[in-house]
Each structure stands twice: as structure tokens, then as C-alpha cells.
Structure 1
Amino acid sequence: MRHCLLLFVVALLLQNSAPAVEPPNVVVILADDQGWGDLSVHGNTNLKTPNIDSLARDGALFERFYVCPVCAPTRAEFLTGRYHPRGGVRGVTSGGERLDLNEKTIAETFKSAGYATGAFGKWHNGTQFPYHPNARGFDEYYGFTSGHWGEYFDPPLEHNGRPVQGNGFITDDLTDHAISFIKASKDRPFFCYLPFNTPHSPMQVPDRFYDKFKNAALKLRAHDAEREDLMMTRAALAMCENIDENVGRVLKTLEDLSLDQKTIVLYFSDNGPNSWRWNGGMRGRKGSTDEGGVRSPLLIRWPKQIRPETRVAKISAAIDLLPTLTDLAGIPVKSDKPLDGVSVAPLLLGTAFENQADRMIFSHWNGKVSVRTQDFRLDATHRLYDMVRDPGQQHDVARDRPEVASRLTQAVARWKADVLADLKQDDRPFPVGYRAFPITVLPARDGLPHGNVRRSANAPNCSYFTNWTSADDRITWDIEVSTGGRYEAVIQYTCAATDVGSEIELSLNEHRFRGKVIDAHDPPLRGKEHDRVLRSGESYVKDFKPLSLGNATLKPGRGLLTLRALSVPGQRVIDVRSVVLTLVEPDSPR
């Protein structure tokens, strides 16, 4: 009896003395178009990134980490732990960037575990609710949902679906809001996602960063030096040093709040470099499924859990981040679909790790697929490279290693049949009118021009419609109204004084909104004055003005939202940035 009582008391004391396991905070920082070689920790002496480098010094550096060739697919794979075609992500604009609504995100998983969740930056996986980040698990969102933006200084942004004016340089501003979120959430576990939009073009950066590089002699050059645009490289490196400063601000905030010891901080990029510049001699850049297009930095710090200066040599990918972070945090994955990624937490914590010996990681873009194993890469044209002896992919060894080439070729065929089968023709309309999110923005990016109407730039992202000259011209959006009721329609427009007076109609099936352009609004274009390099794809921007077309009742269902002019007294009608439909009075539920 005494023996049993003694054992009970000892067990109770041990239980009471055991430290409580606190769920770690998580901060994920994502750069946009930053190559593997754009960090000093990887040997680039052209720039200094001490704050980002410190994550490797105090934590782990992954030597072979892979993402997608372009932006939106990588973001989708991070969010879901699944290859991007499975989630319907087939492009980077015009709706192809949207992540299917039946996919569960990493934010939903952490939110279900009691975490405060916030995202601050470039979303790029859907604009309209319920594709919007506020519907995908993020309580707080500040940034822009498009693929790229046309102005980085005091830009137009949004906060939880409502338009706001950014303050200062965009990367600094996004960091300010992430820091505010961290401070507001310091007394509970939080998941903070900070997806920057630099060094993606347009190449804009404050003077104090650019001045260091504008005349710099760069010792390290692109593998094919004659293809390198030095002005582009200098601007990109300046933007990377700006990112590094902002990473330092986040780390300092965690330290000041005494949160640094219980916060996982992870840093990576979404694809290879957006220009030819030094990248460790790898072949390919952004858009390529070769090593240089898909190899990314991955640095992760968790004091007292991940040993300083840990080096992870095993291959891993963006699809691994969701299972890894949930594993480290000790929370169950919310998704009911099988993940393509695996947890690499054992590699970080020094415990046993299985299922790596024959692992294959697939890279896809525009129908091209390559596959990477620990030692080999089979490229999109079935050339085989020994990546240990030939990291620059110079020598095809398919004839020398036919068994490897055959095995990987068959694996690619199976992967295409399995994963790309999900990439069917995109027939998803743009959703409008949810009670939980009554304001729906339909940007020019998601519409189609007809007749004389043209986009302001070849790249739809951040464009507006212009050259609207005739009553026969049309602009259309394929939409589906979720909630019937009374809506207000507002157009974001500009109009020269000589063109005032056009009568405009917006129609959906039998329903009509109508208005007249009474006020001239013809502001200058913005952006060129801040560019360090002449832009080639992104539109310049201007300040648009709202024009209300009044209210009308819309019924639930799908249809073609059509914008046209009933009369055109001048040379042109208007330029259009977006149509905004607001659910003013929903129908009463039956």
C-alpha cells in the first residue's frame, strides 16, 4: 500500500514539474523572384544580406530546396502541401492563379489550432471571395491579391477587402503591418505570412539602397555574362538588401517582445531569378524547370530546437513546408486530401528520417516537367544530368545511365497522368456577392476586352482597359452571383475633359445599371519616375475615380457581366481599372 502511494506521489510530482509545452509562433517570409544566388550566405559577394544569413547561422540552411518556375504555383504549393495543378492553379493571371475552393490551406490548419493568422503582401491565389485570403484562413490581410503591381511607392492596396493607400515603399509598409500584427498577437500563438513582392519588377527601390549599387562593379556575373543586364542586376541586388533590412526588423521585433526563442522563422523564395545574374552557375532562371529556375533558398530558425548551423543536404520542396511546420508545431493537418509533401522536421531536429532514398521532386510549368532526385535531374526534353558531378547541367548522361533515364522518364509519365489530369480547361466564373464579404472587385485583369478596347500593358496583372472608342466596344466578366439582392455598381475610371458625357451601361442577363460620365478625371501615369530599369511587362498606373452606376437587383446564377457605352460624344469613352459590385441589401432567406 505504502509502495503504491509512494509511486503515485512521485508520478504526480514529475507531472507537475514538467515544463508546459508552448505552441511555437510561426513567421514565414517569402521573397518574389529572388534567386538562390541573391544571398551572401550562398556566396554572392556582390551584396550583403546579414539578417537573412543569420537564420542559417542560428538555425538551418537547406542545400537543395525546390519551388516552382513562377510565382502563383509556388504559393499554392506552400499553402496546401500539394502540387499546384491539383489545386487548379494553371497560370499567373486572369483567374488561372486561383486556388480551388476545396483545397485547405496552412492558415486554416493553424487557425483551427487556435492561432491568430495574418498575411501581409502579395497573395496571388485569387482575388474575389471566397478565393480571397480572408476566406482561406487568414484573419488579417493587408497587401494586394494580384500577381504583380505597377507602383511600389504609396501604392493602392487593400486591408481585409477594402481599398487603402499604402505608406511609403511597399516592402517597408508590408513589414510595418506584419510587425503590428505580431505585437497585437504577442499573448497568443500566431502564424504570420509575409509574402513580399520584390525583387519582382518593376525595378523600384529607395535611393539609399540603390545608390550603393548604381555604379558598382559586380565581381560575380551570370554564367552567360553577355546575357546579363547589369542595370537590372544592380536594381535587383538593391531590392534584396532592402528585403534583408526588413527581415532584420522582424527579427528585432521578436527579440524585443521576448518571442524569439519560441518563434519559428522561415525564409524562402518563389522561383529562380527574374534576370540573368549570378546564380551559382546553374542553368535556367525564372520560368525554367531547370535547376536555376526552381532552386530556392530555404533558411529556418527555431532556437533551442534546431541546432545552429544545421545543414540539410537532402532534397526537399515547397510542398514539404505545410507538413513540416505543422509537425514542428505539433498540430494536425486540416486537409482531408493526401499531401504530396513530407515533413522534414526530423532533418531539422536530428531524429530519424525515412522515405528519402528514392525521393523524386517534380517541377512543372506550361506543360514542361522535369524531375529531381538526390543525384540526378531529368529535364523537360528527357536529357539526364548527374547533378553531383555536373551541377550546371552541361553534359547529358542519358546514354551512360540508361536505367536511370528510363526510370525517371517513366516516373514523369506517371506524374503527368496523375497530376496534370487535374488541369482541365478552366471554367470557373468569378464569384460575386457573398454575405460575409459583400464587396466584390472585378479588376481589368479578370475581364476580356472586345472591339477596339485594349489593355494598358501586355501583362494583364495590374492593367486597365483603354482605347474604348465606340458604342460597339464591350468589356466582359464571366461571373456567378452567389446571393440575390440589391447591388450597387461602381466603375473605377479616368476620362479626359474632351470626352466627358458618355452614357454607360453595365448589364447582367436582364438586369441593368446605368450612369453618365459627368466629371473629367485625367491624372498622369505613375511609376516611370521610380523605375531603375525600363519596364517591359507591367502597366504604369494612375489614380482612378469612382463612378456610381446606381443600384439594381441581381438574381443568383451565372452570366456575362457586360460593360458598354450607349453614347460616345467624344473621341473615347473612359479608361477602366475595375468594376466593384457591392451587395447592399440581400434577399431575405427563404
Structure 2
Amino acid sequence: MSSRPNIIFIVADDLGYADLGCYGARAAGFGPVSPTLDALAAGGLRLTQGYSNSPVCSPTRFALMTARYQYRLRGAAEEPINSQSRGSTTLGLPPEHPTLPSLLRGAGYRTALMGKWHLGYPPAFGPLRSGYEEFFGPMSGGVDYFTHCSSSGQHDLYLGAQEQPQDGYLTDLITEHALDYVARMAPGAKAGTPFFLSLHYTAPHWPWETRDDQALAPQLHRHLFHLHGGSIHSYRRMIHHMDEGIGRLMALLAQHGLTRDTLLVFTSDNGGERFSDNWPLVGGKMDLTEGGIRVPWIAHWPAVIAPGGVSAQTCMTMDWSATLLDAATVAPDADYPLDGKSLMPLLRDATTWYGPALFWRMNHRGQRAMRQGAWKYLRVDGHDYLFDLSQDERERANQAAIDPERLSAMRAAWERWNAGMPAIPQDATVSLGYSTRDMPQR
């Protein structure tokens, strides 16, 4: 077996901070919501202060792929990639840009993406043009789980570079393709050729459809962006379907003797949507309050990570991409230096430390944020806030008037960081269909 691990990077879609049992979710009527992920957390490392690079889907995925701040690329400005972006040659991940899969592939890894892409449409963009050898899934941000049609009504399910209609519930189809891939890669992995599998579920992203809702799919699809459908019960069942698939994947790894030497990382692309549980955080998707950007992070790698680890280490999506490169002993491209910082020391020893300052920005409501140590600077609708998250995770007690010097210093640090990033184009907007919830009030 190669000393380099197999790598599986699992990304849920719009999963809230407290939607998993190991993050405080209560049992549902059918039992625990996420028993597989809870077991992985117990057998590995769980982070309590980890973040996504953005409170919306596409920009976080740019950061995941490049291990750099998404603001460096035009296609990642806000959330411009939707069904109207088909045919665009600017709104997407440039094929010439080094990526996590292309760097791993160049170092001898086999690579595949099973699940959501959302980084630009063919022919200008696509997974096979950005380092993946194999791909199955939708190109867009959200599709019906049964018809596999996007919000525009266009069928959106691909196998490789070709549109590929398939029958079935999308979460289960993604799982099946992931299982097939691992089964095919297992002999090579045992012989010294590791694999990198991006497993990007669309669950629990709208539409709110469980495995048992196929008869309702045509009606639900007419309201793909609907505000009046779904329930917390269907939402939690969708999470459970994903968890079941991950359980099947872990069983397959064990069957092939690959568990010990496989690094598995699980997270969400942003904070939860309207049916999620973000307790004790406020806000959700599209917000730079904690509920929009703080997400679950679980790492499992028995050869390196001791079981039962819990850490308050601060980090972002791009840090984990840098970590995976480090774990595989793969150097970044010298022309594209990483913004992400490797967390390999944390994987070896779950001792918490505060890393570099973290930064965010959005045109939507003029939002900006910075996390440095226990402190957070936030601007919403032109108003500045300062929160001590060690005492106030709900961001209710504004310390701006009490500690003006700290606020001034953090605001200046954000301005310096922002000056080093390309400006957000004025035509960059967020996609429709989301609601902003519980933002701080003046």
C-alpha cells in the first residue's frame, strides 16, 4: 500500500451547522438522523469552529477546487452561475487554473467527481477539463431528485462529458456511482495507486424530496424555488438518505481493506437553508452571520487521526484543500500560491490553536466579515458589529461601542485584505430562491 492516502472529500449541500447528531441534532421519528457521520466523528476529528469560504454554493466550490480565495476568479463573484450562464465563457472555473484534482492527478492519483459540479457549463468548463478523469452528476446548482431537471426545466445529469438520463433518486444514484468507482479503484489503491474521490451530494438542497416522493416530483418541480413546500421532516429524511449512502461507502472501504489508509473529510458548502438547524448560531445561507458560514467539519483517517478528537481550530474550506495536498505530499503550483493553510498538524494532534485571520465579503446587503481568534468583525447594511464569539456565538451582544480600538483595528485589517483582492463586478449578483433570515439589527 502506498504511504499516500486515498482521499474522499464529501460535501453536502446547504447542510446546517446543527443538522447532524454529532453537532446536536435531535433524533427524528425514524431514529438518529446521521448515525454514519456521527460514528465517523467519534472515530476521528470533529471541528466546532470551521467555516465555508462563502455563504452560497458556487463560490465555496471555487475555493475548494483552488485552495485560494474565490474572489480571485471572476466566475466566483457572488453566485452568478445558474441556468442563464449556459454558453458563458467567463462564468466558470478556467480549465488552465491548477485545481486540487489536477494537482493530485499530476502526482499519480486517480480522480473522480460524483455529484454536483456548479462551476460552469460545457463546452467552456466542466469537471473533465479541471482535473477529474471521471464525472457523474449535475452541472447546475439545483435539480429535481427524480426528473434531474434544473430550475429552467432542462435535463441536467451527465456521465463524463455527455448528458446521461438515468432513472432513480439522485442521492442514491450519486452513491451508486461512488461505490462503483471505489470498487474499481480498490485493486490499484492496494497496489500503490491512490485515488481521490470528490463525493458532492446535492442533499439536502431543495427541492424537498425524499426517496419516497417520486409520485410528487412533477408537482414539486413546478416550484423548484418554492417557498411554500417541504418540511423539517422531509429535510431530515434527505440528510438520512445521504448518511445511508456514506455508510455503504464505509462498508465497501472496509471490505477492500482500505479504511485505515483513506482520509475522509466531510463538510457543507455553506450554512443551512430554511429547514435547517443552526443552533446556537443565527442566520443561514446568504448571511455572513455564523449560521451562514460556520459548517460541520469531520475528518476520519485511522492511520493518522486519533479517535474522539474535538477541536475549536478555526479554518475555511480552502484550508482543507491545502491539507489534502499536504497529506498526499503534493506541492502547489508555484504560479498559483495557496491562500489555504494545511491542517496536517491538527490531524496528528487535535490541540486547538487559532490560525490566520479569515475574511469574507458579499455585495448582498454590503456584507463583510473577519474572524481573528475569538473575535469577529461584521458589517451588514452599512452597520459595523464586533462580537466575542467565545461568549456570544449568537452574535447578539455588539461590542463595537465597548471596544472601539479593536473594532477599528479589525476593520483596517479587513480593508487591507480587501485591497489585495479583485473588486466584485457590479453585475455580480446572488441567485434567486433564497431567503435571508435573522440578520443583526441596528
Please state which band the TM-score falls in when normalised by the shorter chain. 0.7 to 0.9
Q: 1:365 to 1:287 in 2, by over 3 A?
A: same
The one of the two structures with greater contact order (alpha-carbon pairs below 8 A, sep at least 6) is 2
Q: 1:352 to 1:315 in 2, by over 3 A?
A: closer
| 8 Å CA contact 1:122, 1:197 repeated in 2 | yes
Greater shift in the superposed pair: 130-139 or 334-343: 334-343
* Structure 1 segment 479-518 matched on structure 2, within 5 A: none
| 8 Å CA contact 2:48, 2:312 repeated in 1 | yes
Q: Which residue of 1 aligns with 2:218?
A: none
Q: Which residue of 1 aligns with 2:235?
A: 236
| 354, 361, 366: which one aligns with 1:364 | 361
Q: Which residue of 2 aligns with 1:374?
A: 373
- How many angstroms apart in 2 are the aligned matches of 1:72 and 1:265? 22
Q: Which residue of 2 aligns with 1:36?
A: 17
User: Does residue 54 of structure 1 match 2:67?
Assistant: no
| 8 Å CA contact 2:314, 2:354 repeated in 1 | no
Q: 1:376 to 1:350 in 2, by over 3 A?
A: same
- How many angstroms apart in 1 are the aligned matches of 2:237 and 2:166? 21
Q: Which residue of 1 aligns with 2:63?
A: 77
Which contiguous aligned blocks of 4+ residues in structure 1 show a shift greater than 3 angstroms? 94-97, 150-156, 228-231, 423-427
Q: Which residue of 1 aligns with 2:3?
A: 22
- How many angstroms apart in 2 are the aligned matches of 1:357 and 1:140? 37
Q: 1:169 to 1:150 in 2, by over 3 A?
A: closer
- How many angstroms apart in 2 are the aligned matches of 1:154 and 1:144? 8
Please list every run of 5 or more consecutive structure 2 residues that lacks an aligned counterpart in the other structure: 150-154, 215-226, 435-442
| CA deviation after TM superposition for structure 1 residue 151, in Å | 4.2
| CA deviation after TM superposition for structure 1 residue 375, in Å | 0.5
Instruction: Please list the CA deviations of residues 13-63 of structure 1 after superposition, one character each: whole Å capped at 9, or x if unmatched.
Output: xxxxxxx75211001110001111110001111442110111211111111
Instruction: Please list the CA deviations of residues 419-453 of structure 1 after superposition, one character each: whole Å capped at 9, or x if unmatched.
Output: 243x44679xxxxxxxxxxxxxxxxxxxxxxxxxx
- How many angstroms apart in 2 are the aligned matches of 1:85 and 1:115? 28
- How many angstroms apart in 2 are the aligned matches of 1:263 and 1:70? 29
Q: 1:129 to 1:208 in 2, by over 3 A?
A: closer
| CA deviation after TM superposition for structure 1 residue 359, in Å | 2.2
TM-score of the two chains, using structure 2 as the length reference: 0.83
Q: 1:196 to 1:207 in 2, by over 3 A?
A: same
Equivalent position amino acid for 1:24 in 2 = P
Q: 1:149 to 1:321 in 2, by over 3 A?
A: same
| CA deviation after TM superposition for structure 1 residue 259, in Å | 0.9
| CA deviation after TM superposition for structure 1 residue 229, in Å | 8.4
Q: SS of the counterpart of 1:207?
A: coil
- How many angstroms apart in 2 are the aligned matches of 1:280 and 1:351? 24
- How many angstroms apart in 2 are the aligned matches of 1:251 and 1:280? 28
Q: 1:351 to 1:62 in 2, by over 3 A?
A: closer
Equivalent position amino acid for 1:176 in 2 = E
| 8 Å CA contact 2:389, 2:395 repeated in 1 | yes
Instruction: Please list the CA deviations of residues 59-93 of structure 1 after superposition, one character each: whole Å capped at 9, or x if unmatched.
Output: 11111111110000111111111111102211242
| 178, 193, 198: which one aligns with 1:193 | 198
Q: Which residue of 2 aligns with 1:98?
A: 92
Equivalent position amino acid for 1:50 in 2 = P
Q: SS of the counterpart of 2:265?
A: strand
* Structure 1 segment 62-211 matched on structure 2, within 5 A: 62-67=47-52, 68-88=54-74, 89-90=76-77, 91=79, 92-93=81-82, 94-95=84-85, 98-153=92-147, 156=155, 157-186=157-186, 187=188, 188-207=193-212
Q: Which residue of 2 aligns with 1:275?
A: 274
| CA deviation after TM superposition for structure 1 residue 198, in Å | 1.3
TM-align CA RMSD:
2.6
| CA deviation after TM superposition for structure 1 residue 167, in Å | 2.9
Task: Return the structure number with greater strand share.
Answer: 1
| 8 Å CA contact 1:271, 1:295 repeated in 2 | yes
Quick check: which has more Rg, 1 or 2?
A: 1
